[in-house]
């Protein structure tokens, strides 16, 4: 959204801000229209999609910290992927406020550590997080397909199996490759993420 906003005319910007205000959404941040327990796809990107997490060490670090942060607040994680400039998690959420606080702590601590390590104190690392409520079983299965294929979609790898920072390997270890292939064929990720995972 922030990237599209910059390309809008003054009239388009005014209209979108008015619509967001009328809906009670934040004017320049991802809205969180659903706050109840449920299954959500959670997405966070680095500011301006800069690949701050490039490199195996940071990808591994974020993967571990992200999963631990969510599991500590009782969030059930169904699928996840971490890429150099964003991550997705499909999760059963008890309270979105708890998730927001956990991700805020994660983003704050990694921002401080990476800015010190990179000698870039004051650099903005993260751009908040967005959530999408999963509507039904088909949406859930399409989200799994999408998450596991995300590294391929963004050109980081040729096959999902060769990207180590995702839950795909947990599924494969559990001998669920045949199941993944079936749901991938029946629930392809075609168009999933359009508009909110571009960039």
C-alpha–C-alpha distance, residues 172 and 79, integer Å = 12
Give the pLDDT confidence score for residue 13 in this predicted structure.
Answer: 67
Is the model's pLDDT at 109 over the cut of 90?
yes
C-alpha–C-alpha distance, residues 106 and 70, integer Å = 10
Between residues 81 and 130, the one the model is more confident about: 81
Residue with tokens 């999760």: 91
Q: What is the mean pLDDT of residues 167-172?
A: 91
Q: What single string gives the DSSP state of each residue in 46-107?
A: EGGG--TT-SHHHHHHHHHHHHHHHHHTTPEEEEEEEETTEEEEEEEES-HHHHHHHHHHHH
Give the pLDDT confidence score for residue 1 in this predicted structure.
Answer: 45
State pLDDT tens for residues 133-149.
Answer: 999 999 999 999 999 99
Is the model's pLDDT at 198 over the cut of 70?
no
Give the pLDDT confidence score for residue 32 in this predicted structure.
Answer: 47
Between residues 117 and 172, the one the model is more confident about: 117
State pLDDT tens for residues 53-105.
Answer: 999 999 999 999 999 999 999 999 999 999 999 999 999 999 888 999 999 99
> Boundaries of CATH 3.30.70.1290 in the chain?
32-186
Query: Percent of the chain beyond pLDDT 90?
Result: 61
Give the pLDDT confidence score for residue 146 in this predicted structure.
Answer: 95
Homologous superfamily of the 32-186 domain (CATH)? Transposase IS200-like (3.30.70.1290)
Give the pLDDT confidence score for residue 12 in this predicted structure.
Answer: 73
Q: What is the mean pLDDT of residues 102-118?
A: 96
State pLDDT tens for residues 3-31.
Answer: 565 676 777 767 666 665 655 544 444 54
pTM for this model (two decimals): 0.79
User: Edge-to-edge strand order for the sheet containing 126-133?
Assistant: 76-83, 86-93, 38-46, 126-133
Between residues 68 and 174, the one the model is more confident about: 68
Three-point CA angle 194, 161, 157, nearest 5°: 60
């Amino acid at each position: 959204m922030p990237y599209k906003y910059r390309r809008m005319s003054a009239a388009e910007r005014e209209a979108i801000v008015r619509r967001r205000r009328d809906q009670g959404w934040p004017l320049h941040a991802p809205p969180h229209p659903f706050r109840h327990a449920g299954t959500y796809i959670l997405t966070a990107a680095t500011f301006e999609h800069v690949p701050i997490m490039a490199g195996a060490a940071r990808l591994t670090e974020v993967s571990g910290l992200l999963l631990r942060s969510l599991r500590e607040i009782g969030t059930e994680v169904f699928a996840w992927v971490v890429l150099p400039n964003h991550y997705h998690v499909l999760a059963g959420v008890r309270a979105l406020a708890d998730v927001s606080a956990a991700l805020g702590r994660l983003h704050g601590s990694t921002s401080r550590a990476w800015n010190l390590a990179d000698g870039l104190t004051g650099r903005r690392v993260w751009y908040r997080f967005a959530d999408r409520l999963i509507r039904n079983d088909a949406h859930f299965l399409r989200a799994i397909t999408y998450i596991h294929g995300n590294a391929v979609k963004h050109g980081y790898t040729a096959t999902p199996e060769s990207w180590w920072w995702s839950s795909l390997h947990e599924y494969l270890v559990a001998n669920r490759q045949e199941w993944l292939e079936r749901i991938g064929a029946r629930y392809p990720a075609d168009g999933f993420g359009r508009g909110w995972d571009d960039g």
